[in-house]
Each structure stands twice: as structure tokens, then as C-alpha cells.
Amino acid sequence: MKILNFEFKAFLRDAAHVRAVLKRHHARFLGTDRQVDTYFRVPAGRLKIREGRIENSLIFYRRNNFARARRSAVEMMLLPRRNSVRTILSSALEVLAIVDKRREIYFIGNVKIHLDRVRSLGAFVEIEAMTRTGDIRKVRAQAAKFQKLFAIPSSDVVPLSYSDLILKKRKSGQR
């Protein structure tokens, strides 16, 4: 399935405030999932397999690293919970990074909100305003709306993916 979205990730400074906003806007809570994302080295874009209790998928996406909401083109295939895709891809491609996180998953309409606790990185909020019709203006406005509702300053927006942050940390020798 092809999806266009406008998304951003930010440091999560006030989880209670974000949860209160979600409650006020009648967000649908899908649950809390422990997800392990395995990223593979590919010539362009990002390729990962997500393994969790709620979400399991093979995801390829292209996105620029900007410290603001940005457009992302996503190709995604849903997978059964227990599968051998990671094993097969690991045999063919170099594993770039592994991201282990505990994720609360919410939806408000077409907007997906994650409250993440990422092992060795900390707490983040991620907003993905998604469209299949290509109405990028609408999803851009939705991303901006949630940044304002959650009171997230632009300085807290993180331009890098979790895999990039882990690679950066590994390169600097931090644990």
C-alpha cells in the first residue's frame, strides 16, 4: 500500500499534557506495543521490518531529514505476526540498526500519534498525518495543528529517524 504523509518526531517533554489532548479529542487508543524495527542498508531511502504484537510490516520510505514536519512517501506491506522476512532480509542485506521501543498507538481520524520510549534514546512523540489521495496541504495542516495542540516547540522537533539517532550515538561511542 502506498501512503503519503506529513510527519514529525519530537522529544516528549510532557506526556500527561499530550495524553490529555488525546483524550479531549477522543483519540482511538490501539494499545501499547513493544516494537523492534530492523533497518537494512539500501542504496536509497530506508527499509525496515517492524515486529510487534500489534503492528508487523515491511516498510520502505523516502524522507528528508528536516527539523520540522516533512513529507514522507511510504510503501508498506502488512505481515503476519510470526514470519521469516527479517531472517531472509538479514541473509541478503546488511543490518544497519535495530530500534527497540515501547509505543503507545493512537488515531484521530487519519492522524496517527505515537508516544514512544526508545531504548537508549528516551521519550518521543511522533505524529503522522496520512493520505492515500495525495492531499498534501491537508495533512501538512494537520501536522501543524497537532504540534500546536501538543505545545511542542520547534526546537524539540527531531530531524533524524530513530535509526539515525542510534547510528549517531554508536559513532560517538555513547551507550
Average pLDDT of the residues in 92-121: 98
Q: What is the pLDDT of residue 126?
A: 97
**b (16+ CB within 10 A) / e for 43-66:** eeebbbbbbbeebbbbbbbebeee
Q: What is the pLDDT of residue 175?
A: 58
**Given the C-alpha cell 494499545, which residue does it identify?**
31
Q: Phi and psi for 21 in degrees, rounded to 5?
A: -65, -45
Provide the pairing of β-strand 28-40 with 46-51.
antiparallel
**Does the pLDDT at position 134 exceed 80?**
no
Query: Which of the four pLDDT bands, split at 50, 70 and 90, describes residue 61?
Result: very high
- d(C-alpha 101, C-alpha 138), whole Å: 29
More confident residue, 36 or 70: 36
Q: What is the pLDDT of residue 1?
A: 84
Q: Model pTM greater than 0.85?
A: yes
**Does the pLDDT at position 167 exceed 70?**
yes
Average pLDDT of the residues in 139-167: 96
Fold of 2-172: Hypothetical Protein Pfu-838710-001 (2.40.320)
